[in-house]
Amino acid sequence: MRLGARVFLVTAAAIAALVVIASVIAGAIFRSEFRDVERRRTELNVRRVVNAVGEQARQLDVKLADWAHWDDTYEWIATRDQAYVDSNLNDLSIATLGLSLVVFLDAEGTPAMAFGFDGSARRRTELPASIGRMIRSGDPVLRPSEGRPTVGVLALDEGAYYVAARAITDSERKKPARGVLLFGRLIGPDEVERLSRLTELNVTLHAAGAAPVSPAEIGAGERAALVRTASDDLLSGFGVIADVRGGPGLVAEMRQRRDIYLRGLDAAAVMKWSLAAVGAVFMVVVVVVMRRVVVSRVVRLDREVAAVSAHGGGLGRVSGAGADELGSLSRSINGVLDRLDERARELELARERAETASRAKSAFLANMRHEIRAPMTAILGFADLLEERNQTAGERAEHVRAIRRNGTHVLSLIDDILQLADIESGAAAPAVADFRPGEAIEGVAAVLRFRAREKSLALTCAVSANMPVAIRGDAVRLRQVLMHVVGNAVKFTERGGVTVSARSEACGAPGRRRLIIEVADTGPGMSGEEIERAFLPFSGAEGPPEGAGASRGAGLGLTVSRRIVESMGGVLELESEPGCGTTVTIVFDAELGDERAAAPARTAAGAGEGSSALVGCAVLVVEDDADSRRLLAHHLKRAGAAVETASSGEEGLMRALATLTGGDRLDAVIVGVQMPGIDGCEAARRLRARGFAAPIVGVTAHPRDAERRRCLEAGCSAVLGKPVDRAELVETVRALASPESRPAAAA
């Protein structure tokens, strides 16, 4: 069989099988999903009917309350004055109230007045015998306490009623009760029709013992409902309406057309035919394209390679088995290989390089999987432990520290990847400012000293006296490099210690100094090959050799660090020998800075638990993410601020603008930059345009330089990155909320 025929048969069979499988699966999913939607809608409508019945009983109780707590009623039950009856209990009044039962009982439970009422004939009738028996037996329904009225449905032999019973008291309810007043309204055909109109549903009410399904089949609870198929195009839903005496009183039945399911069946049928049509068209297109683009080219190539192979050659051969075009092509390629010796070597070298890069990337992905899953396992595990009630305060504190430590690790991995992407794309612009290099170096050492102490390592820091007090540069990036380098040294050193030393020397340019920072450890060291790989992205070679006992890391720290140092005009070098430790040297020239401008940064006064740094400060938090909004509000409230929240840019804009027209004062607005609708930048721009002068702090998940500039240009006073540091948040709001820090109102 020729290749073209094989391609046609295989393609047709594969596409047909895919169409059939997709049609069967999709049809089953469609039917299941539409049945589920139909069932949920029916259950919801059943609950609507049950709630509507309860609402009618509550409305009757509202009418009853006016009568039971009326001073005239309270006096009448004692005096039995006929004038009260003539004025208030005449047939017109009873008909207006829509009542079918009226029962007045005195304090001893003796009827003072009790009668039934026919609303259609507007005349009084005999009291139902079941009510008489309840009165004589002192039924609890007729004994409501002053604070707990009886309200609901009462199923009697004569029919079901909405009933409401209350103790008769004076209007101020200070005097003892003088009896009980009960109102009832018959749930007859007219009432069922009214329920159907109210709910816009086809409603039928059955006595509990005469319903198509028993209350036990429906189940207990206010949300219990039973759905059954009445016919191919109708569904029946059933719900239990409880009797005021505790048992089932009525069974509500609601019938509705199966519009959703029938539309689902139509959609499934259309989808099946559409898939069949698309599959047929796709099969024709694939076959035509394969014949024109693949098969014909293979046949043509076979003839061309056969001509080239006539020249012979001395390279290895491929198998020429097979009687079709591919077999002929394989035999022809053997002749072509004789002419491709040099090209083959080049391709082999390129292949090896590609495989090396692929292995490095695969190793990186494997490391990242471990580096992310390991801390996430710890975060989720310790979060589960926090939910256990038998944890001591010390254990809970340790769990929180573990969650914070692992969360910080995951965040640093993400920052490394984004930092490398920014550097390689040229989007990372340095934030140049005056800062104190000695304090930056010692600060990094102080942060990592706790980690070293956990491993029983000595971490020492020595800053030379000739180190300039202040330089001009990017302090954040320098700290980032040092955190990577010193962190690696601590991570891969098992015994001994880590030494950080810093000094400066003249660089030959006025107003500049050369800074030299060395980080030496007593770890396992690295071979020359490992040093070379250490600076390759995704190499995972930042760590010790195989078997050294420590994790090898994600393979980005040294890559990012070297790129950052090079962007500062410096160099980062690594010296190491197996078994002799490792020394990383960072050298760069820096312009001398202003010592006053580089004053040590203030910490957030009282940013810890229970502080009062923001007492008297009113802050509006605008954030669409509920968890972030709650966390920001919590930090600000703990610092003493009065906090309001808004869940969208539109709501936040409305609340902030309200302060310009006499609303409550606002000292600061915290706004999420990435929000649907009106985002943080647009909200800030509109507020400034309307003359809003209070500080606006943007909170963004992309705290890059371009994003910061966009926020500041829109009118933000400051920009914080997510996850927001509590101390930085409180200090930023405290500093900006002072009157001298506020921007001038927009014209």
How confident is the model over 28-51, as pLDDT tens digits?
Answer: 887 788 888 888 989 899 999 999
The yes-or-no verdict on residue 112 having pLDDT over 80 is yes
| Mean pLDDT for all residues in the chain | 82
Amino acid 314: pLDDT: 47
Q: Distance between CA atoms of 539 and 552, rounded to whole angstroms?
A: 10
Predicted confidence at residue 542, as pLDDT, reads: 45
Model confidence band, residue 541 (pLDDT cutoffs 50, 70, 90): very low
Q: Between β-strands 497-506 and 458-463, what pairing exists: parallel, antiparallel or unpaired?
A: parallel
Q: Is residue 135 pLDDT above 50, yes or no?
A: yes
Place of tokens 């950080």: 500
pLDDT for the residue 70: 93
Segment 154-173 shows an average pLDDT of 92
State residue 322's pLDDT score: 56
Q: Please, are residues 179 and 78 in contact by the beta-carbon 8 Å criterion?
A: no
Comparing C-alpha atoms, which of 689, 700, 697, 634 is closest to residue 667? Answer: 697
Report yes or no: 81 and 108 within 8 Å, Cβ to Cβ. Answer: no
- Token reading at 364: 């990186």
Angle, nearest 10°, between helix axes 3-68 and 259-289?
160
Give me the pLDDT at residue 603, please: 43
Average pLDDT over residues 120-132: 91
pLDDT value at residue 536: 67
Over its C-alpha atoms, the chain yields an Rg (Å, rounded) of: 41
Q: What is the bridge-based pairing of β-strands 696-700 and 718-721?
A: parallel
Whether the Cβ atoms of residue 660 and residue 689 lie closer than 8 Å to each other: no
Higher pLDDT, 613 or 199: 199
User: Element (H or E) spanning 378, and its range?
Assistant: helix 341-386
Dihedral (CA of 145, 151, 153, 156) sign? positive
Residue 145 one-letter amino acid: S
The share of the chain scoring above pLDDT 70, in percent, equals 81
Say how far apart CA 656 and CA 686 lie, in whole Å: 11
Place 606 in a pLDDT band, splitting at 50, 70 and 90.
very low
Among 323-337, 502-516, 578-592, which stretch is predicted with the lowest mean pLDDT?
323-337
- Chain centroid, CA 695 distance in Å: 28
Q: What is the mean pLDDT of residues 276-293?
A: 78
What confidence tens digit (pLDDT) does each residue in 555-585 have?
Answer: 566 788 888 888 888 999 999 889 888 999 9
Q: What is the per-residue burial (b if ≥16 Cβ within 10 Å, else e) of 285-312? A: ebbeebeeeebeebeebbeebeebbeee
Banded pLDDT at 425 (limits 50, 70, 90): low
What local confidence, expressed as pLDDT, does residue 84 receive?
A: 92
- Cα–Cα distance, 178 to 169 (Å, whole number): 6
Is 156 within 8 Å of 130 (Cβ atoms)?
A: yes
Q: What is the dihedral of CA 215, 219, 222, 226, to 10 degrees?
A: -80
User: Residues 263-272: what's their mean pLDDT?
Assistant: 77
Displacement of CA 117 from its chain's centroid (Å):
59
What confidence score (pLDDT) does residue 547 get?
39
Can you tell me the distance from the alpha carbon of 535 to that of 360, in angstroms, rounded to the nearest whole number? 12
Among 347, 320, 322, CA closest to 334: 320
Percentages helix, strand, coil for the chain, rounded to the nearest 5?
A: 50, 20, 30
Q: Helix or strand or coil: residue 155?
A: strand
What is the pLDDT, as a whole number, of residue 128? 93
* Distance in angstroms (rounded) separating the CA atoms of residues 604 and 724: 14
Distance between CA 45 and CA 41 in Å, rounded?
Answer: 6
pLDDT above 90 coverage of the chain, percent: 35
